[in-house]
Chains A and B, each alone.
Chain A
């Protein structure tokens, strides 16, 4: 009441209809749109446009130095009959599944280990990250030397111990080459899995383990019934990323084997690069790249379902 009494009279005369521009200035959606523009532009120029261009190129016979013609699905028809392409698909799947499975196993083991109370815990956690912070190409070069046919330290050590007489032809033998690149990929990928899972483990309340101890759970039962179920959401995320990174791996293979010997380690990414850039067949290379999309979409679908909030995560969290 007092407010009304002391309100200045003339204020009334200044009230006018808000113009469209005034309304727009105060519209939160309009403002929100402008805040999103930079991110949107970034996504369009660096993700959507290259992806669209890649898919378009796969339907043309573009070569380096020559604008291509639309050729329909000709590139894909060629690839369908190309044994090397199918070999690269097989290699990629083998590489992804074997490396991801082992990365998950070792990563989870390391995370559980680092979550325990032990001396030098902080230092050990830092050490685990080392493979992750070394540039891929540098570590690939190091592995290249480690697996060198003449100067391999592994062959040398085994010879010194008298276990073998001849150098092992690590990168020259098809089976050995596959093992070597998978090993290098695992070495590089484990820290990401381990550290992310460790972060997940640390969100589990210690009192849950105490309650489980009193309920009579053994160490294994605690892992099986408490740790693992509580960790599943983060496992879904970390393994999706791990699978995506491994599936699209290029650097490590290119630096170590360039897809050899006899295409035994050619992944779809390296084959695409070889056909498109080295051989200049941009259309065909683009078709190989585009052929990766269904596989990647499948992996993303898995993650999408894995990431969905489980029933127990729903509802208020007021603890």
Chain B
């Protein structure tokens, strides 16, 4: 186990820079998730960490050692690929023991290592099978087993669950988290799925267009997103954004589209009339007599909660209620955002304005 330091790392393909100076400190034993939309550079960063891509500038260190010019096999890392990259002509046992074999380990040593990893992942009955004879979830576990056998300093996961169906994905998510709690190996996990990030990470790094937008614990990112991008990316259904002006003279408030009055706990100093974006999470709406009038468009019950799509000041918003209201399309309701939980962003830079 080791800490990992990524310092001002840049990556260019030809003249095209895809990573513009990324710095991420990763502590020993931490589970870090790099999340972002496709093309944000998260996979490239992971491959640079693995040694599969060159580092254009900046440094990456594992433990105390700068690994920029260290061969992948010397870095003591193990990676789980999106398509698993299992060797099709080797049995599960051979797949898992391949790195030990290359290292020149004795046959007994290899079989002990493979057995230990197989027990952790419940793969023992499958050891003689070939990858083709396994289901998607089993292949995924073999790929993890191959990483565990090596007992590396750092585990790298490159979108490991995206080839699985929804149900299996949820199960494997728990399994990976459990595995991390058991082995406590430093883990860097890449995904485009914010739910995966939220549920698994000790620390989430939100990336966008080759920069780090924000990093922090899942709930920090959820509660105080640093900018509008993070606010919109984390959370499902996504945060509602309403454009308008800040009212700071007298009672703090916000004038939304078409003059809709929205509550604000405190307005930033000297911000009267400042154009801004008002952000409310769907679950932070309540029905209240002093709320803003909205017209219900679609009601989607999921059992545990109900998603309500409505027009507020002419803008479509979504609200989520755990209580079972009897709504039907066309109904007028008064929706009130919880003033303590609303977010305010700068209209041009997208930066967070309230504390």
Interface residue tally for chain B (C-beta within 8 Å): 30
Q: Which residues of A contact B52 (CB under 8 A)?
A: 210, 213-214
Question: Nearest-CB distance from A261 to chain B (Å)?
Answer: 48
Residue A216 lies at the interface, judged by CB distance under 8 Å to chain B: yes
Residue A78 lies at the interface, judged by CB distance under 8 Å to chain B: no
Within 8 A of A (CB), among B56-114: 72-73, 77-79, 81, 83-90, 98-99, 102-103
Residues on A facing B (Cβ under 8 Å) = 205, 207-208, 210-217, 221, 225-226, 229-230, 310-319
Q: Which residue of A lies closest to B77 (CB)?
A: A214
Known contacts A207-B81, A210-B85; A215/B73 CB under 8 A: yes
Residue B229 lies at the interface, judged by CB distance under 8 Å to chain A: no
Extra contacts, 13 of them, besides A210-B81, A313-B88 (Cβ < 8 A), are: A210-B79, A210-B85, A211-B85, A213-B72, A213-B73, A214-B73, A214-B77, A214-B99, A215-B99, A215-B150, A217-B102, A311-B130, A315-B130
Question: Nearest-CB distance from B165 to chain A (Å)?
Answer: 11
Within 8 Å by CB of A221, from B89, B102, B163, lies B102
- Give the CA-CA distance A230 to B90 in the complex, in Å: 10
Residue B322 lies at the interface, judged by CB distance under 8 Å to chain A: no
Within 8 Å by CB of A312, from B79, B88, B163, lies B88
Within 8 Å by CB of B136, from A212, A215, A318, lies A318
Q: Which residues of A contact B78 (CB under 8 A)?
A: 214
Q: Contact at B102–A205, with CB atoms within 8 Å?
A: no
Show 7 residue pairs from A and B whose CB-CB distance is below 8 angstroms, ordered by the A residue.
Answer: A208-B87, A211-B146, A214-B78, A216-B99, A221-B102, A230-B88, A314-B130
Residue B132 lies at the interface, judged by CB distance under 8 Å to chain A: yes
Q: Contact at A310–B89, with CB atoms within 8 Å?
A: yes
- Give the CA-CA distance A230 to B103 in the complex, in Å: 22
Residue B190 lies at the interface, judged by CB distance under 8 Å to chain A: no
- Give the CA-CA distance A205 to B77 in the complex, in Å: 21
Q: Which residues of B contact A212 (CB under 8 A)?
A: 87, 98
Q: Which residues of A contact B89 (CB under 8 A)?
A: 229-230, 310, 312
Q: Contact at B72–A319, with CB atoms within 8 Å?
A: no
Q: Which residues of B contact A216 (CB under 8 A)?
A: 73, 99, 102-103
Question: Nearest-CB distance from A204 to chain B (Å)?
Answer: 9
Residue B181 lies at the interface, judged by CB distance under 8 Å to chain A: no
Q: Which residues of A contact B72 (CB under 8 A)?
A: 213-214
Q: Which residue of A lies closest to B94 (CB)?
A: A225
Q: Contact at B85–A207, with CB atoms within 8 Å?
A: yes
Q: Contact at B98–A205, with CB atoms within 8 Å?
A: no
Give how many A-B residue pairs fall within 8 Å (CB-CB). Answer: 75
Q: Which residue of B lies closest to A208 (CB)?
A: B85
Q: Contact at A314–B136, with CB atoms within 8 Å?
A: no
Q: Contact at B132–A316, with CB atoms within 8 Å?
A: yes
Residue B174 lies at the interface, judged by CB distance under 8 Å to chain A: no
Residue B266 lies at the interface, judged by CB distance under 8 Å to chain A: no
- Give the CA-CA distance A319 to B79 in the complex, in Å: 19
Which 10 pairs of residues, A with B, have the shortest CB-CB distance?
A216-B73, A315-B132, A215-B99, A207-B85, A211-B85, A315-B133, A312-B130, A312-B89, A229-B89, A216-B102
Q: Which residue of B lies closest to A316 (CB)?
A: B132
Question: Nearest-CB distance from B277 to chain A (Å)?
Answer: 41
Within 8 Å by CB of B85, from A205, A217, A318, lies A205
Q: Which residue of B lies closest to A228 (CB)?
A: B89
Q: Which residues of B contact A317 (CB under 8 A)?
A: 132
Q: Which residues of A contact B102 (CB under 8 A)?
A: 215-217, 221
Known contacts A215-B73, A313-B132, A314-B132; A205/B83 CB under 8 A: yes
Residue B342 lies at the interface, judged by CB distance under 8 Å to chain A: no
Q: Contact at B132–A312, with CB atoms within 8 Å?
A: yes
Question: Nearest-CB distance from B92 to chain A (Å)?
Answer: 11
Residue B50 lies at the interface, judged by CB distance under 8 Å to chain A: yes
Question: Nearest-CB distance from A274 to chain B (Å)?
Answer: 47
Q: Which residues of B contact A229 (CB under 8 A)?
A: 89
Within 8 A of A (CB), among B13-53: 50-52
Q: Which residues of A contact B87 (CB under 8 A)?
A: 208, 211-212, 225-226
Known contacts A214-B50, A216-B102, A221-B102; A314/B85 CB under 8 A: no
